[in-house]
């Protein structure tokens, strides 16, 4: 049944065409395959970089203007004063060594993101081997190792997404839900691409944004013309 629905959706998309942004997002409601869940809308951007070179590793974070449609459960690892501040900012859990031990000893992962203060990174390092593979390790490059826990927690709760380029030169990110108005998905995508543009490595040669494809969780991909996305210079 799903195969039939997928084929029907795929027939509405010209796979060879790069759609202007407004046309591409307008097609998304017709790409919904599952009748039950509010499918996530994802973007895959192929960049003209070679991630094998350290100076071409594109990594960062962006607060999407309309969020992702999912509220993250945030853990802040900090000393008592900063833990209290994090809880006031909306963190779901905040504390020090007791949470490091809970993760290490109980294999507890009841959270989607981790913020840590620099003075606690010695403790966090003890669980780096379990946080890293899950994409949960705090990192100063994306603002999750900071003394400004209020800002970090607030951004994560507001719909901040972290991203990094994969081996094939592709960056993936959620940019909303199928229930979003299409203009909100368009604005989220524009914000995401604008952030990627700001992170263009000086050593990257040729075309930087090679292709952009958006899709729902179970639906076919829709190619977006990069030239149709307006980004601030």
Q: What is the DSSP string of 74-102?
A: EEEE--HHHHHHHHHHT-SEEESHHHHHH
46 strand-pairing partners: 170, 211
Residue 215 contacts residue 10 (beta carbons within 8 Å): no
pLDDT at 77: 97
Bridge partners, 45 (sequence order): 171, 212
Q: Are strands 74-77 and 113-116 parallel, antiparallel or unpaired?
A: parallel
Distance (Å, whole) CA 80 – CA 25? 45
Tell me the CA distances in angstroms from 107 to 25, 100, 102, 104, 179, one per residue in order: 40, 10, 7, 6, 34
Question: Residue 88: how many CB atoms within 10 A of its CB?
Answer: 12
Residue 31 confidence (pLDDT): 80
The domain made up of 14-68+160-228 is a member of CATH 3.30.190.20: yes
Percent with pLDDT over 70 in the chain: 97
Q: What confidence score (pLDDT) does residue 7 get?
A: 83
d(CA 213, CA 43): 6
Copy the structure tokens of residue 101.
């031990």
Q: What is the pLDDT of residues 175-202, one digit of tens each?
A: 999 999 999 999 999 999 999 999 999 9
Closest CA to 219 of 14, 77, 40: 40
What does the radius of gyration of the chain's CA atoms come to, in whole angstroms?
Answer: 19
| The token pair that represents 160 in the structure block | 């901040």
Q: What fold does the segment set 74-158 form as a domain?
A: Rossmann fold (3.40.50)
Q: Which two tokens stand for residue 149?
A: 């826990």
pLDDT in tens, 105-156: 999 999 999 999 999 999 999 999 999 999 899 999 889 999 999 999 999 9
Q: Quick one: pLDDT band at residue 1, thresholds 50, 70, 90?
A: very low
Q: For the chain, which residues make up each domain, given as ranges?
A: 14-68+160-228, 74-158
Are 210 and 47 within 8 A, CB to CB? yes
**Nearest partner of 61 among 127, 117, 140, 130, judged by Cα:** 140
Tell me the pLDDT of the chain averaged across its residues: 91
Region 18-42: mean pLDDT is: 86
């Amino acid at each position: 049944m799903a195969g039939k629905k997928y084929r029907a959706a795929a027939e509405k998309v010209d796979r060879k065409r790069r759609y202007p942004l407004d046309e591409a997002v307008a097609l998304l409601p017709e790409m919904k395959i599952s009748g039950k869940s509010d499918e996530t809308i994802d973007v895959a951007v192929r960049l003209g970089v070679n991630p094998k070179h350290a100076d071409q590793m594109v990594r960062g974070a962006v607060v999407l203007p309309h969020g992702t449609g999912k509220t993250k459960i945030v853990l802040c690892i900090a000393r008592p004063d900063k833990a209290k501040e994090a809880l006031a900012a909306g963190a779901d859990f905040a504390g020090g060594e007791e949470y490091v031990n809970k993760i290490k000893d109980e294999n507890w992962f009841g959270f989607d993101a981790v913020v840590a203060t620099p003075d606690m990174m010695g403790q966090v390092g003890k669980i780096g081997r379990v946080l890293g593979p899950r994409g949960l390790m705090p990192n100063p490059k994306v603002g999750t190792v900071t003394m400004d826990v209020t800002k970090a927690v607030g951004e994560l709760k507001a719909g901040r997404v972290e991203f990094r380029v994969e081996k094939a030169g592709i960056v993936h990110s959620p940019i909303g839900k199928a229930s979003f108005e299409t203009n909100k998905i368009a604005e989220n995508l524009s914000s995401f691409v604008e952030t990627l543009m700001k992170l263009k490595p000086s050593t990257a040669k040729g075309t930087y944004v090679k292709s952009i494809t958006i899709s729902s969780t179970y639906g076919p991909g829709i190619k977006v013309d990069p030239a149709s996305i307006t980004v601030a210079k």
